[in-house]
Every structure is written in C-alpha cells, then in structure tokens.
C-alpha cells in the first residue's frame, strides 16, 4: 500500500477492505463466493457486502472465517480495524480539503481582528479554529437553520451567507454568556414607553440602562461588530427560553440604531419562537415588525397629527413636536425621510452619528 506523509503522519493513499484478502484465500482454496457463504452460514448477499467493504467483519464472522479458511479471528479483526481507520483517515483528509476551500470564504482576518478567533496564517489551523468557533465537525455543516429574523440593508450588494452566519454565531455565543431573567413578553412590552424616553439620552447613558432592562425581561442585549458583506443592522435569536437581541450599530446613525432596536423588540413581542432560520427576503413578518417599530416610536395617530397640522419641513417644528411627544428629533426625522416627505440632505444634524464602545461587558 502506498502512503503519503502529512504532518509527520503516514496517510494511506487508499483503504483496502479485508475482502481482498478473503478473495485471495478463496482462490487458494478453490472456493467460489456461493460455496464460501454456505460454509460460513451467511447469505451470499452479506458475504458480497463484506468482500466489497460495505459491511464490517464482526466478531462472529471473524470466528467463522477462522474455522473455514483461517488463519485466526484476531487476524481478520485486525484487518477490519485497519481498513476502518484508513477509510476514516482518507475521509478526514477529504473533509479537510473541502474545509480549506470553505475557509477562504469566511472573513477570518476580520474575525481575528475582533478577537473572535485566534490570529494565524496557517490554513489548516484556520480550519480548526473555525470549526471550534462554529461548533461543527466540519465547515460544510455551518449552513444550518437559525431561528433568526434580521434587518438588512435593502441594497443590491452581494451578501455572504458565511459572513452572516459568523456574525450570528458570535451573537449567539455572546448571548449565551449573558445572565438574564426568564423571558417575559408582557414585561418587555410595558417597557416601550421607557425605551422611547431613553432616545433623548446619550449612548453612554441609555445603552447600559436598556441592556439592564432587557435582561430583566429575559433578553440578552449585545453589540456585535459588523462583518463585510453582511449588511445586518440587528437580529433576534432564541436559545431555550432566552432571547438574544444583537445589534451591529451599522450606519452609526441614532435613528437607525433606535429603529433597529424597536424592530427587534417587535419580533420578540409579537412573533413566536421558531426554529432557526435565516431570511434575506422582505417577508410578512419583517414588514410587520417595521410597521410595529414605527408605531412604537411614534404612534400613527401622533405622526399623522404632525403631518396634517404642522409644517413638517420646518426644523423648529420637528424639534418642538418631538419633545412634546417625548422622543429624540432624529426619530421623527428618520420617519419623514422614510416616507420621503423630506430630502436626505435636510437636517442631517438632527440625526447624529455615535459609537457605542463594544467591550466584554457589552
């Protein structure tokens, strides 16, 4: 048998089934397959499977071979064990070859920069690290279903499923480490007015508070750094009875942050805990969550009142009305932009950019 050396270990080029040795003994003894099956007391079909490596030599079969053609049961079991090991080693090498191709499509450099995986240029070590990160035996198993409903930019950019799954996995791992109380949908819904008031606060003030409030409702809130070709603003993931709400703070605009947060709250409050799945399309649940988020932030009655009774293009009117209904002006500006009632060039100063520092406590 030819072998190839790999990482100081000899790898078999092929796995030779014990059936080849059985055939050699059959020829030496002048037996055909049907006669040997009869002497062994097994069916010709089962013997054929053993000869072709499709069925293993059991202890019982090894003892029968010892009696009929020799030499010993230990000999046959040793051949069987070596065959299974060689076959497994070859399969493992084939899996590694596939994983080496898959790992090229994973944003490893960015993930290592964020500290999600260990930094290395060794391709095989990258495969090992990614297997551990995703919690899979091989990388072809990453494409599993996630119970995830997430907002993504409505752009025509190419989306990388592996980048998306890496982002979601990071959110899942971080979420599992956060201690929260039992999930309480009603408690979370009753906090909507409190969350609205916090839109008037600075990030350093509101983020620790909404994180604590969410934890008391059974929701693990965290920030996850943005990966290339994901275009995700936020996601909700269920683990047992714990809800994980992850935000990427993509865009870094205050109105985008808050709308995403309320969008995910809408999923948690109004949608059931389903099996993991990833949905790139604008389905009914996503559209419904968008409408609910808008109404949570600015109830439709109040919004329509402003549009009909005030000069909605006037900056002073926007600021005044926002404070009257208890939300940050950026929320109202964002709603007006979405409805195309004002131009994107207008009042960008009312939509401040900010950055919430993501550390171990986030």
Q: Within the chain, how many helices (H) and strands (E) appear?
A: 16, 6
Does any domain span residue 256?
yes
Looking at the structure, do residues 162 and 245 belong to the same domain, yes or no? yes
Instruction: Report how far apart, in Å, the C-alpha atoms of 100 and of each of 53, 54, 122, 135, 278 are.
Output: 29, 29, 11, 17, 24
pLDDT value, residue 112? 96
Report the candidate in 246, 251, 245, 261 with the shortest Cα–Cα distance to residue 231: 251
Looking at the structure, do residues 230 and 346 belong to the same domain, yes or no? yes
pLDDT tens track of the chain, all 362 residues?
A: 444 444 445 666 788 899 999 999 989 999 999 999 999 999 999 999 999 999 999 999 999 999 999 899 999 999 999 999 999 888 888 888 899 999 999 999 999 999 999 999 999 999 999 999 999 988 988 876 555 555 555 544 578 889 989 999 999 999 999 999 999 999 999 999 999 999 999 988 999 999 999 999 999 999 999 898 888 888 888 887 789 999 987 767 899 999 999 999 998 998 776 544 344 455 677 788 889 999 999 999 999 999 999 999 999 999 999 999 999 999 999 999 999 999 888 888 898 887 776 554 45
DSSP-derived letter for residue 340 is T
Looking at the structure, do residues 186 and 323 belong to the same domain, yes or no? yes
pLDDT value, residue 158? 78
pLDDT value, residue 191? 96
Looking at the structure, do residues 92 and 184 belong to the same domain, yes or no? no
Looking at the structure, do residues 169 and 224 belong to the same domain, yes or no? yes
Looking at the structure, do residues 175 and 324 belong to the same domain, yes or no? yes
- Written as six digits, the tokens of 155 are 């752009």
Does any domain span residue 361?
no
- The three-point CA angle 226-110-135 to 5° equals 90
- Written as six digits, the tokens of 331 are 């929320």
Q: Is 219 left (phi over 0), alpha (psi -120 to 50) or beta?
A: beta
pLDDT value, residue 287? 82
Looking at the structure, do residues 327 and 279 belong to the same domain, yes or no? yes
Looking at the structure, do residues 341 and 200 belong to the same domain, yes or no? yes
Does any domain span residue 319?
yes
Does any domain span residue 132?
yes
Does any domain span residue 337?
yes
- Within 237-328, residue ranges assigned H as helices are 254-270, 284-297, 300-309, 315-324
Looking at the structure, do residues 178 and 259 belong to the same domain, yes or no? yes
356 φ, ψ (degrees, to nearest 5): -95, 120
Does any domain span residue 78?
yes
Looking at the structure, do residues 156 and 137 belong to the same domain, yes or no? no
Q: How far apart are CA 71 and CA 194, in angstroms?
A: 82
pLDDT value, residue 360? 47
Residue 69, domain extent: 6-103
Looking at the structure, do residues 329 and 242 belong to the same domain, yes or no? yes
Domain count, the chain: 3
Looking at the structure, do residues 96 and 238 belong to the same domain, yes or no? no
- Condensed to tens digits (0 to 9), the pLDDT of residues 174-221 reads 999 999 999 999 999 999 999 999 999 998 899 999 999 999 999 999
Bridge-based pairing state of the strands 3-6 and 9-12: antiparallel
pLDDT value, residue 335? 93
Q: How far apart are CA 59 and CA 71, in angstroms?
A: 14
Contacts for 103 with CB less than 8 Å, ≥ 6 apart: 123, 126, 127, 130, 139
Does any domain span residue 313?
yes
Q: How far apart are CA 244 and CA 236, in angstroms?
A: 5
Does any domain span residue 362?
no
């Amino acid at each position: 048998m030819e072998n190839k050396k790999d990482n100081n270990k000899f790898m078999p080029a092929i796995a030779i089934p014990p059936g080849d040795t059985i055939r050699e003994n059959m020829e030496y003894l002048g037996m055909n397959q049907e006669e040997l099956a009869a002497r062994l007391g097994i069916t010709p079909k089962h013997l054929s499977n053993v000869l072709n490596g499709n069925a293993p030599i059991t202890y019982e079969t090894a003892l029968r071979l010892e009696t009929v053609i020799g030499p010993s049961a230990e000999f046959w079991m040793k051949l069987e064990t070596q065959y299974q090991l060689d076959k497994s080693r070859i399969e493992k090498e084939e899996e590694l070859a596939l994983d080496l191709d898959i790992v090229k499509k994973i944003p490893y450099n960015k993930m290592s920069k964020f500290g999600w995986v260990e930094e290395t240029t060794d391709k095989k070590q990258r495969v090992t690290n990614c297997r551990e990160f995703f919690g899979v035996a091989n990388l072809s198993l990453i494409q599993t279903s996630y119970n995830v409903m997430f907002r993504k930019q409505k752009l025509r950019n190419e989306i990388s499923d592996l980048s998306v799954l890496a982002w979601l996995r990071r959110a899942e791992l971080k979420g599992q480490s956060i201690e929260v109380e039992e999930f309480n949908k009603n408690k979370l819904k009753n906090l909507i007015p409190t969350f609205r008031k916090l839109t008037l606060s600075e990030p350093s003030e509101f983020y620790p508070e909404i994180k604590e409030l969410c934890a008391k409702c059974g929701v693990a809130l965290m920030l996850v750094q943005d990966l290339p070709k994901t275009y995700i603003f936020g996601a909700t993931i269920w683990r047992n009875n714990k809800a994980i709400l992850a935000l990427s703070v993509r865009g870094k605009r205050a109105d985008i942050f808050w709308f995403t947060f309320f969008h995910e709250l809408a999923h948690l409050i109004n949608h059931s805990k389903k099996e993991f799945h990833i949905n790139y399309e604008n389905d009914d649940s996503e559209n419904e969550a968008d409408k609910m988020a808008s109404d949570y932030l600015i109830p439709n009655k109040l919004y329509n009142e402003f549009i009909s009774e005030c000069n909605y293009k006037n900056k002073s009117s926007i600021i005044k009305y926002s404070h009257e209904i208890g939300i940050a002006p950026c929320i109202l500006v964002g709603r007006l932009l979405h409805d195309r009632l004002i131009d994107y060039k207008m009042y960008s100063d009312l939509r401040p950019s900010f950055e919430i520092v993501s550390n171990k406590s986030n």
